[in-house]
Amino acid sequence: MTPTETWLSRLIAHPTVSSVTNLPLMAEVEKALTALGAVCTLFPDATGQKAALLARLGPDGPGGLMLSGHVDVVPVTGQDWTVPPFALTRQGDRLYGRGTTDMKGFIAAMLALAGRAPTLTRPLWLAISYDEEVGCIGVRPMLAAIAARNIRPDLVVVGEPTSMRLGLGHKGKLAFTVSAKGTARHSSEAPLALNALHLAADFMTGVRALQDDIAAHGPAEDGYSVPYATVHVGRLTGGTVVNLVPDSAELLMELRLLAADDPAALTARLHDLAAQIVAPHRGAFPTADLTVVETGGYPGLSTPLSPAVHTFATCLPPGTRPCKLSYGTEGGLFAQSLGVPVVVCGPGDMAQGHRPDEYIETAELAACDAALDAALARFCASPDARAD
């Protein structure tokens, strides 16, 4: 196996789903990087069961390159795997295991790169996070520390799977819980009650109208399969038995935003919609309510073709074209926190991620190794070492 494939086997052996600790994996990575001379800092979470890691190889100076990835993976429960999910399995040119594509393949390439790095004139930073899959949680304290230390690499590469295409943008996300409060009554007198599910249904009808308005009049950006912001209700719950009018209901929803969208304005429209639906019922039912609570999210990413991005593009195979991504990443958080160019580029195809028998092609890992070698030479190891 190549050094990257060896590292991938070691990483896959750790079942780092978000519900369990990642400390054994992080301890193994920290030990290996420290042995290479890296300066490592761990960022534990409040429970002490998870940690992010920031490592630096080379001098502690300005510029250089930062490579970023998350070690958490989605669960395998209920999925029909034909190979062990937490043991790397080779079948021809494919390597199978949970996280091979999303996104331990890139982290393996990062760690293998550290093992063969020459003397560096500018820093190579490795940023490894946790709980990206459940809301980009683990990267935030680490990013706050990076910003406070005024670490400003010339470029950040977030290695989510793009089939080694150059990802310059993705939408942001806002998630909401909407709670409806009505009044209960026996269903034989349903018109005398206020059905919370009906309130929720009226809200969903308003959400559909909001989507139509966004599509017709909102900002648009080329490169996406849906070139405007999307608003989506993913879950509705409420009620207990059919002969009782439910007095509570809850729906879960999200907004996927372009960089040009105003998150506060769109959030305000949801609050206004809830108020408009409840207002006609308050006279007969004073306790009627629809509350909209934001529960999480992350910013979008829109990276212009700066000199540093152009330099990285020359490290990719000839003919590689920029793209926009349909999924979110930690890239927007890096750009927002550090104010430096951020691209998303990594091995594997997201179509293979989160699925049973997740795999990555060995050729993709080899292409990633070649691109990172070239980027290291341009950003960290050349005499002037500054992207131009």
Active site positions, annotated: 72, 132
Per this entry, what is the length of the chain?
Answer: 388
> Contact at 8 Å (CB) between 323 and 165?
yes
> Contact at 8 Å (CB) between 143 and 70?
no
Q: Is 330 strand, coil or helix?
A: coil
Q: Cα(276)–Cα(181) distance, rounded to whole angstroms?
A: 14
Residue among 241, 147, 255 nearest 187 (CA): 241
Name residue 54's beta-bridge partners. Answer: 41, 127
- The verdict on whether omega for the bond into residue 103 sits within 30 degrees of 0, i.e. cis, is yes
Q: What are phi and psi of 172, to 5 degrees?
A: -90, 175
Q: Cα(344)–Cα(355) distance, rounded to whole angstroms?
A: 21
The set of residues, in sequence order, having a beta carbon less than 8 Å from that of 46 and lying 6+ positions away, is none
- The first and second tokens of residue 75, run together, are 């669960």
* DSSP letters spanning 203-225: HHHHHHHHHHHHHHHS---TTSS
Q: What are phi and psi of 348, to 5 degrees?
A: 95, 165
Where is 55: in which H helix or E strand? Answer: strand 51-57
Q: Cα(309)–Cα(168) distance, rounded to whole angstroms?
A: 9
